[in-house]
Amino acid sequence: MWRVLRVALEWGPMARPTKLPDSEITAALAALPGWARTGDVIGKSFQLPTFPDAIAFVVRVGFFAERADHHPDLDIRWRRVDVALTTHDAEGLTQLDLDLAREIESIPIGGNE
């Protein structure tokens, strides 16, 4: 623990993500099928074949999110998973949200993966 604290103090405060302009968000969403913007949040609903597939999908999202240190809101309803992304520190959408949305899109949907 002390090593982590020491490293954090040596690096100083983490760079704060910057809020993206609307034009960049709109352009990025054009390449993310099914993702929609509502205010300062982008989201998508994913329909999975079975409940265990939905849970496995959430676990994979969790690994991407943890690696990016950027955590989405996830709502599991039987076989449907709703994903919502925003950057609270920036009070809006940042590159972190778009990058995580792209990674989530790379997760195969189906029961045979």
**CATH class (in words) of the domain with range 17-105:** alpha beta
**Structure tokens, 29:** 């969403």
Query: How many other CB atoms are there within 10 angstroms of residue 27's CB atom?
Result: 12
Query: What burial class does residue 31 get, using C-beta atoms within 10 Å of its C-beta: 0-12 exposed, 13-18 middle, 19+ buried?
Result: exposed
Q: Which residues pair with 47 in a beta bridge?
A: 80
CA distance 22 to 28: 10
pTM: 0.84
Q: Taking the mean position of all CA atoms in its chain, how far away is CA 102?
A: 8
Domain boundaries along the sequence of the chain: 17-105
How many angstroms separate the CA atoms of 39 and 100, rounded? Answer: 18
Task: For the chain, 113 residues long, give each residue's pLDDT as a single digit of tens.
Answer: 444 433 333 444 557 789 999 999 999 999 999 999 999 999 999 999 999 999 999 999 999 999 999 999 999 999 999 999 999 999 999 999 999 999 999 999 875 44
